[in-house]
């Protein structure tokens, strides 16, 4: 089977490459915005016409949460229009789509785990445009998997784990927000789930939540990074108000993974277990 991966230079695509090293049954086409501009519908249509594709994994996204508040048009072009163009091309060419979305579609005001049936009410432009992308896919395609995830990190690209480890080299102490609660997710674990969907040739289409197991604040996450990496940097908890940002973040965005565990027959690692593996690999 031939698999198109958009956003081919990003963190998640790099993790797909890691997981796919031993997958000789799959052929991958990795594209960046120069190879495939998903904001251009004709470009997408031509690309699908000119290449044999069985599955498309859409890792392309505008993910600058704060910058999106002032760069609304581009965020919408990538996150909404890009998703719609891929969905239409997938339908026209009988291609199955795996699309990555986010916990930021929720307002964070819940006191219990978010399920796929809970109402999505984004707080900012990033979450709104990602939700619009989900809706565009659902309106234009039946053979899709939308995977909402959270707090992605890995050995690749820029992410919270690598930032904390870099700061720990020069800073004896750091303050990190402790009142935003979610779940760190190892991008390699998410990549493995995507390839399982493809290898199983699953037809359990729909919207799913996927993150690692467990619950953490950003402070908890940072503290665990320093503990596992055995650094001497001390971390102190602060409230969101002490670290203002242009975009509001959901205060609680822990997702219920029951649906995907049952549909794909998978076990999901706890976030600390995966974090230890990531730091070991680094």
CATH of the domain at 194: 3.40.50.720
Residues with a catalytic annotation lie at 126
Does 21 map to a domain?
yes
Does 67 map to a domain?
yes
pLDDT tens sequence across 44-96: 999 999 999 999 999 999 999 999 999 999 999 999 999 999 999 999 999 99
pLDDT tens sequence across 99-137: 999 999 999 999 899 999 999 999 999 999 999 999 999
CB 251 within 8 A of CB 180: yes
Does 218 map to a domain?
no
For the cut 90, the answer to whether the pLDDT of residue 262 exceeds it is: yes
Beta strands in 108-266 (DSSP E): 144-149, 152-153, 173-177, 181-182, 185-186, 206-209, 216-217, 234-238
Residue 22: predicted pLDDT: 84
Does 90 map to a domain?
yes
Residue 111: predicted pLDDT: 87
Q: How far is 218 from 237, CA to CA, in rounded Å?
A: 9
Does 164 map to a domain?
no
For the cut 90, the answer to whether the pLDDT of residue 154 exceeds it is: yes
Unique residue bearing structure tokens 């399920």: 115
Mean pLDDT of the chain: 97
Alpha-carbon distances of 70 from 76, 176, 247, 251, rounded to whole Å: 12, 25, 10, 22
Q: Which domain holds residue 66?
A: 2-150+185-211+254-269
Domain count, the chain: 1
Does 144 map to a domain?
yes
pLDDT tens sequence across 181-238: 999 999 999 999 999 999 999 999 999 999 999 999 999 999 999 999 999 999 999 9
Does 155 map to a domain?
no
For the cut 90, the answer to whether the pLDDT of residue 171 exceeds it is: yes
pLDDT tens sequence across 14-33: 999 999 998 889 999 999 99
- Residue 148 — pLDDT band, cuts 50, 70, 90? very high
For the cut 90, the answer to whether the pLDDT of residue 249 exceeds it is: yes
Does 32 map to a domain?
yes
For the cut 90, the answer to whether the pLDDT of residue 243 exceeds it is: no
Q: How far is 45 from 48, CA to CA, in rounded Å?
A: 5
Phi, psi of 149 (to 5 degrees): -135, 180
């Amino acid at each position: 089977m031939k698999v198109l991966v958009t956003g081919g230079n990003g963190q998640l695509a790099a993790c797909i490459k890691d997981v796919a090293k031993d997958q000789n049954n799959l052929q991958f086409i990795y594209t960046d915005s120069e190879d495939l501009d998903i904001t251009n519908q004709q470009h997408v249509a031509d690309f699908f016409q000119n290449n044999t594709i069985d599955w498309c994994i859409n890792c392309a996204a505008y993910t600058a949460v704060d910058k999106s508040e002032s760069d609304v048009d581009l965020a919408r072009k990538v996150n909404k229009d890009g998703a719609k163009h891929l969905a239409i091309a997938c339908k026209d060419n009988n291609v199955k789509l795996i699309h990555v979305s986010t916990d930021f579609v929720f307002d964070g005001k819940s006191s219990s785990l978010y399920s796929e049936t809970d109402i999505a009410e984004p707080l900012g432009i990033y979450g709104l445009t990602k939700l619009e992308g989900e809706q565009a896919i659902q309106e234009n395609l039946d053979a899709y998997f939308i995977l909402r995830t959270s707090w992605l990190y890995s050995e690749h690209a820029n992410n919270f784990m690598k930032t904390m480890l870099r700061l720990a080299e020069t800073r004896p102490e750091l303050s990190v927000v402790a009142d935003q609660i979610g779940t760190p997710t190892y991008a390699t674990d998410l990549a493995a789930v995507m390839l399982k969907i493809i290898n199983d040739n699953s037809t359990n289409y729909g919207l799913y939540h996927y993150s690692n197991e467990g619950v953490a604040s950003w402070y908890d996450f940072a503290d665990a990074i320093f503990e596992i990496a055995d650094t001497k940097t001390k971390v102190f908890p602060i409230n969101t108000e002490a670290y203002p940002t242009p975009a509001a973040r959901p205060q609680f965005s822990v997702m219920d993974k029951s649906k995907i565990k049952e549909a794909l027959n998978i076990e999901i690692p706890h976030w600390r277990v995966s974090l230890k593996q990531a730091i070991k690999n680094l």
